[in-house]
Structure 1
Amino acid sequence: MGAGKKIGILAVSLILVVGAVIGVVAVVRSSNGNNEHKQQQQPPSTTVKAIESFCAPTDYKDACTQSLSAVAKNETATPKDYIMAALQATLDEVEKALDLAGKTVVNKDADPYNHMAVQDCKDLLDQAVGTLQASYSMVGDTELHTLKDRAHELRSWITSVYTLQSTCKDQIENPEYKTAIENGMVNATQLTHNAINIVAELAEAFKAFNLPFDLKPARRLMGLNSYPSWFGAADRRLLRAQSRGQITPNVVVAKDGSGQFKTIGDAINSYPKKHQGRFIIYVKAGVYEEYINIDPKKTEIMIYGDGPDKTVVTGKRNYGIMKIGTMNTATFSSNAVGFIARSMTFRNTAGPDGHQAVALRINGDRSAVFQCNIEGYQDTLYYHSSRQFYRDCMISGTIDFIFGQGDAVIQNSLIVVRRPKDNQFNTITADGREVKKGSDGLILQNCRIVAEKELDLVKSRIASYFGRPWRPEALTVVMQSDIGDFIRPEGWLPWSTTDPKYFHHKTCFYFEHANRGPGAAVDKRSKEFKNFKVLSPQEAAKYTPGQFLKGQDWLPNTQLPFQLGL
C-alpha cells in the first residue's frame, strides 16, 4: 500500500448525476450535529433504558437513537427487535448509497481507470447490501436465547460491510465525484460503525432487559488435528479424499485438452445456476496465464491442483506500470462464501517496478487456503474482508505484502521476504482495521519468517519490519513464530511520523507472543507504538483460531492438523 494516492488522475470526461446528494446526507451526518430527531415523539419511558443501553457503545449516538426510535415505541420489543431495527436502518442507507453510485456515470474512453473505480464501487456496495440482508435474516431466524452463539459471525459480517464501503471510497480518485459519493455514504458509514459496536457489546444491552448473555464458548475447544468449524462433515471428507487422490471433481481443467476445459475461467463460468453444495474444480499441472474473479453468487467452490510447484495461475497486472487500481490487479480473486483452494500457486510477476500488484485477493466469508504458494512483491496477498484461514502456505513479497481488512489467520506457513528496490524497505504486513471493536485483524501463528538469498546479502542496508499500520485501529499479532535476524530490532514501522493524518502508530494494536529466533528479541521494539504489547499466554489465546475465528466445533483425526489454541 502507499501512504498517498495509489493512482494518477487521468483526463476526465464524465457526466455526474449527484442531484440528491445533499438530501441524502441528512439527520445522521454527525453525532454532534442535527438535533432534528429530538423534535420527534419521545419513546415510552420504559424503553429509554433499552435505547441508552444499545447506543452506549456507539460513536454516533444521535444516529443510533434515531435508527431505534420506531422500535422504541413498542414497549414489548425484545433485544432481537432492536438489533433488527439497527440492521434495517443500516441496510436502508447502504441501498441509498448504492443508488447514488449507480447514478454516477464516467466516460470509459476518456477516463478508463475512474470508470472502473465507480463500477467497482457499485459492485462493492451491492455486496454490502447482500451481506446486510443476510445479517437481518440471520437475526430474524435465530432464537433469542441462542443469539449469543451467532454474535461473532454477525459482527464479522457487519465488519465486512464497513470494509466494502471503505474500499468503494478508496477506489475512486477524482475529487469531484469521490467527494459526492463519500457524502452520500455518510449515513451508511455511521450506521454500520454503530452496528458493529452494538453487536460487539450485546451482553451489556441484554442487561437492560434483565437477560443473561454469555459470550464465552459453551465448551472447551479442542486443540489439534482438526478443520475449522465452518467445514461441514462433507467438506472434511472431501479434503481427506483429495489428499489421497480419491476425489471426483465436477470439472477438470487441463491445458493439453484432457479435461473438460483448457482454462480456469471457463471452468468457473460452467458453475450451474442455482447450484447447491460444493462445486469442485481440479486444475491439472500447467502454467495458466489468466485472471480469475469469482462472482459472489458462485459459492462453495473448491479448486485444487497437482501441487504448488506444478499448478500455477499467473498474471502481471499492476498499478505502477499499468495504472490499474489495486483491487483489480489480482491474478486470482474470490468474492464468494465458502471458497477453498489447495495445492496451487497464485502468482503476480509484475516485480518491484509494478508497485501494487496482487497475486490473491479473497473477499468471501469462510474461505480457506491450504498448501498453496502466494507469490509477488508489493501487496501480494489481499485478505480483503471476512473470515479467512491459511495453512501450510508459502507467501512471498516486499512492501505490505500481506494486507487487508479481513479476519485472517495464517498458521504454520513460510513467510519469505524478498529484495525490494534499493531505495525501498520491507514491511510484511499492513492491516487496515478501522473500527476498534470490529472483528478484523491479522494473526501469524507458528510461521517461519525468512529472507530470500538476494535480500539476505544486503540485509544490513535494506530495512525489514513486521509491518506498518494501514489504518488507525490496525491489529496484527505475530506469535509462536521463528523470526530471522534480518528483521530490524524496532520490529514495527510507523506509516508516517510527519503527517498527523497517518499517525496510526499511536492508535494501532501490535502484539507479539512467544516468538523464537534471532529476530524475536523485544527489548528494542519501537517506542512509537503506544499500544504495543508482549502478550501473556492468557492474552494470546484470544488470537488463536479457536477464539479469533470462533472455531468451536473443530474435529480431530483429519489429514491436515490445525492448532486451535497455543
Structure 2
Amino acid sequence: MAKKVVIGAFSAILLIAAVIGVIAITIRSGSTPSGGNLTTTSKSASTLCSQAVYKEVCEETLSSINETSTVGDIIRAAVKVITGEVQSAYQKVHELHKDAKGSIDNDGFEFCKELLADASDRLAAVLAEADNGHRLNDFEAWLSMVISYRTNCLASIESEELNVQLNAALQNTTVLTDNAIAIVSSIGRVAKALDLGLNITIDGGISGGRRLLAAADGYPSWMSAADRKLLASHRPITFRARPNAVVAKDGSGQFKTINDALKAMPKKYSGRYVIYVKAGIYNEKVIVEKDKPNLLIYGDGPRKTIVTGRLNFAEGVGTFKTATFSVQAPGFIARSMGFTNTAGPQGHQAVALRLNADAAVLYNCRIDGFQDSFYPQSGRHFVRNCVISGTIDFIFGDSAVVIQNSLIILRRPMDNQFNTVTAHGKDTPNERTGIVIQNCRIVPEQRLFPDRFKIRSFLGRPWKQFSTTVVMESLLGDLIRPEGWFEWNGNFALNTLYYAEFNNRGPGASTTARVNWRGYRVIDRREASTWTADRLLGGGAWIPYSGVPHSLSLVK
C-alpha cells in the first residue's frame, strides 16, 4: 500500500510539473493527507495566488513558506494576518460609532461590532482546524462568512461620510480574506490533481469526505448516539423528536415563551437540544445566540406555530434588528414553524427570519413578510419544502443557500413598487456564496393576481458587485417579466454578477427575451450541477444528518 502511494504521488508530480511547472507535492510513505509537504520553488507562492485578485499582497502573505511548509502552515499564514486587521477594524468601528447620528446608524454600528466579533470566531475556527485537510470546503465557507460580515456591516450604515470611513477601515480585511479563499481553493485544486485522498470535487469543494465535525462513525460529533440512530432510521416527515423543553402559551408546557426556553438551555450539553413549540401565535423577538449550537426547534405546523413581530426600517429600526427570529448558532434546524413580520409593504425593510450561522436547515416552515422577509445573511443553509413570501428583495443576504422544493410567493407591494425575489450580496469574486432556487414554484399571491402584469416582478437584482443567483428546474409563473432580472442602479454589477437559469418551466420561464447583461447566462447541465446542494454547500457532509428529505444533485 505504501509503495502504491509513492508511485501514484510521483506520477502526479510529473503531471503537475508538466502542466504548471512551478509546484510539486511529495508525500512521505505512511503520512496522512494533511501531512503532505508542499515542496516550493520560487514560483510556488505565485501558483497558490493564481486565483487571487490582489496577487502582490497574496504573494507577500505567503513569503514565509518554504520546502518544509505543510498545507496547515500555508493556511495559517494566509489567515493569521487577517486576525490583526479585524482587531484594528473593530477599534475603528468603536471610534466611528461616537459620530453616529440617529437610531439607524446607531443600530448599524452595534451590528458591525457583533459581526466583527463573529469574524474573529470564524478565523479562530479555521486556525484551529488548519491541519485538517478534509475541511477545505469548510474553510472556504467560514472565510466567505468573514467577507459577508464586512458587506452587511457596511450596508447597515446610512451616513455616507461614515460609510466611506468604515469602508476604508475594512478594506485590508476584505483584501486579505478574499486572498485566503483563493489560496484554500488553489490548495484544493492541487490536492485533487495529486489525489491526496481529500475527496476534493472538481470545483475545489469536498464531497463525500469527513463529515462536518465528524465523529468516528461518520455522523457529526455533536450528535448523541440516540440522535444518530434516530436520523439513520430515515423517519417520515411526521417524526417528532423527544423534546428537552416544551413551550405552550396555554401553560401546558414547561415555558410560555420561546425566549424563556432558550434562557433555560444548559450552557453545556452533548448532542442536539430539542425545543417543541405547541400551536399558538408567539409575539416575541427571538435570538438564538451563538453559544446555543445544534438546536432543533419544531412546532405543530407552519400555520399553527407562528413566531411573529412587526419591527421595521420605516420606524427607525436597523434592518438586521427588525428580524422576528434570528439565528446566530451553527447546526440549527427548524421544522414545522412559521416566522412572520407583519409590518406590511409600507414598513419597507422588515425581516421575518435571519440566519447568521453555518449549517442551518429549514424544513416545512413558512417565512412571511414583504420587503426583506428572509435574510440568509451568512453561512451555508438548506431550505426544503418551505413557503417564502414577500415583495422587494425578499430573499437577500450573502450566504450560500439552496432553496429546494419550496413555494415562493410574490405579494402585492405598494402601487409605486415592484417585486424582486432575490438580492444577493456577494462583494468579492472568490467568496463561495450564492442563492440557488431549485425545483420550486414562483407564483403570485391571490391579492396580486389581478395586477400581476401591471406590477412588475423579477427574479432578482444585484445588491453587490458579484451578486450570484441561480434559478433551476423550477416553475415560473406568468408574472415574471420576459427580461427576468432587474438593475440595482444603472449599469452597476451587470458585467460582474453571475445570474443563471437552467431547465425551468412555466409561462415565465422563456429566456428568449431575457436581459443581455454580460453576467447573465442560460447554463447547461454540467454547469448547473456545480450549483447543487452537494457542490455549493458541501451538503453531503451534513444535510443527510438533519433528518429531512433532500436532493444533493439535480432533480432531473
Shorter-chain TM-score range: 0.7 to 0.9
- Structure 2 CA distance, aligned partners of 1:273 and 1:132? 23
Distance 1:430 1:555, change over 3 A: closer
Offset at 1:508?
0.9
Offset at 1:213?
7.6
Give 2:531's match in structure 1, choosing from 534, 543, 547: 543
Distance 1:429 1:175, change over 3 A: closer
- Structure 1 CA distance, aligned partners of 2:546 and 2:452? 40
Q: Is residue 154–residue 167 contact of structure 2 (8 Å, CA) maintained in 1?
A: yes
Distance 1:160 1:257, change over 3 A: same
Offset at 1:198?
1.4
Q: Which residue of 1 aligns with 2:83?
A: 91
Q: Is residue 53–residue 205 contact of structure 1 (8 Å, CA) maintained in 2?
A: no
Distance 1:454 1:174, change over 3 A: same
Q: Percent identity?
A: 43
Offset at 1:48?
2.6
Offset at 1:107?
8.0
Distance 1:263 1:554, change over 3 A: closer
- Structure 2 CA distance, aligned partners of 1:208 and 1:559? 34
* 2:459 corresponds to 1:466: yes
Offset at 1:378?
0.5
Give 2:497's match in structure 1, choosing from 475, 497, 508: 508
* 3-state SS in 1 of match to 2:378: coil
Give 1:77's match in structure 2, choosing from 69, 78, 84: 69
* 3-state SS in 2 of match to 1:488: coil
Greater displacement, 381-390 / 178-187: 178-187
Q: Is residue 378–residue 397 contact of structure 2 (8 Å, CA) maintained in 1?
A: yes
Q: Is residue 199–residue 207 contact of structure 2 (8 Å, CA) maintained in 1?
A: no
Q: Is residue 342–residue 370 contact of structure 1 (8 Å, CA) maintained in 2?
A: yes
Q: Is residue 495–residue 505 contact of structure 1 (8 Å, CA) maintained in 2?
A: no
Tell me the number of residue pairs that the alignment of Structure 1 and Structure 2 aligns: 501
Offset at 1:172?
2.3
Structure 1 regions of 5+ residues with no counterpart?
Answer: 1-44, 222-227
* 3-state SS in 1 of match to 2:447: helix
- Structure 2 CA distance, aligned partners of 1:229 and 1:493? 43
- Structure 1 CA distance, aligned partners of 2:273 and 2:207? 33
Structure 2 regions of 5+ residues with no counterpart?
Answer: 1-38, 210-217
* 3-state SS in 2 of match to 1:562: coil
* 2:286 corresponds to 1:292: yes
Distance 1:399 1:210, change over 3 A: closer
* 3-state SS in 1 of match to 2:313: coil
Greater displacement, 353-362 / 170-179: 170-179
* 3-state SS in 2 of match to 1:362: strand
* 2:127 corresponds to 1:136: yes
* 2:181 corresponds to 1:181: no
Offset at 1:209?
10
Give 1:435's match in structure 2, choosing from 428, 440, 447: 428
- Structure 1 CA distance, aligned partners of 2:234 and 2:190? 43
Offset at 1:175?
4.5
- Structure 2 CA distance, aligned partners of 1:555 and 1:362? 16
- Structure 1 CA distance, aligned partners of 2:234 and 2:305? 20
Offset at 1:91?
1.6
Offset at 1:99?
3.2
TM-score computed with the length of structure 2 as normaliser: 0.84
Distance 1:157 1:219, change over 3 A: closer
Offset at 1:229?
8.3
Q: Which residue of 1 aligns with 2:256?
A: 262
Q: Amino acid of the residue matched to residue 377 of structure 2?
A: H
* 3-state SS in 2 of match to 1:477: strand
- Structure 2 CA distance, aligned partners of 1:546 and 1:97? 34
Q: Amino acid of the residue matched to residue 389 of structure 1?
A: F
Give 1:379's match in structure 2, choosing from 333, 351, 372: 372
- Structure 2 CA distance, aligned partners of 1:208 and 1:389? 30
1:414-444 deviation line (CA, Å, top 9, x unaligned): 0111111111111111111122232100111
Distance 1:94 1:559, change over 3 A: closer
- Structure 1 CA distance, aligned partners of 2:79 and 2:264? 35
Offset at 1:105?
4.6
Greater displacement, 553-562 / 57-66: 553-562
* 3-state SS in 1 of match to 2:354: strand
* 3-state SS in 1 of match to 2:42: helix
Q: Is residue 351–residue 373 contact of structure 2 (8 Å, CA) maintained in 1?
A: yes
* 2:416 corresponds to 1:416: no
- Structure 1 CA distance, aligned partners of 2:535 and 2:458? 27
1:343-358 matched pairs, under 5 angstroms? 343-358=336-351
Give 1:201's match in structure 2, choosing from 147, 163, 186: 186
Give 1:249's match in structure 2, choosing from 231, 243, 247: 243
- Structure 2 CA distance, aligned partners of 1:182 and 1:200? 26
Query: Greater relative contact order (Cα 8 A, min sep 6): structure 1 or 2?
Result: 1
Q: Is residue 90–residue 116 contact of structure 2 (8 Å, CA) maintained in 1?
A: yes
- Structure 2 CA distance, aligned partners of 1:210 and 1:240? 33
Offset at 1:100?
3.1
- Structure 1 CA distance, aligned partners of 2:289 and 2:349? 23
- Structure 2 CA distance, aligned partners of 1:330 and 1:166? 18
Q: Is residue 416–residue 451 contact of structure 1 (8 Å, CA) maintained in 2?
A: yes
* 3-state SS in 2 of match to 1:443: strand
Offset at 1:243?
4.4
TM-score computed with the length of structure 1 as normaliser: 0.82
1:144-293 matched pairs, under 5 angstroms? 147=133, 149-203=134-188, 215-216=200-201, 234=227, 237=230, 243-244=237-238, 246-293=240-287
Over aligned residue pairs, what C-alpha RMSD do you find?
A: 2.8
* 3-state SS in 2 of match to 1:460: coil
Offset at 1:188?
1.3
Distance 1:489 1:67, change over 3 A: same
Q: Amino acid of the residue matched to residue 88 of structure 1?
A: K
Offset at 1:271?
1.8
- Structure 2 CA distance, aligned partners of 1:406 and 1:181? 22
Give 1:310's match in structure 2, choosing from 304, 309, 316: 304
Offset at 1:126?
0.3
1:73-116 deviation line (CA, Å, top 9, x unaligned): x44222331121111111221122223334455389x7433332
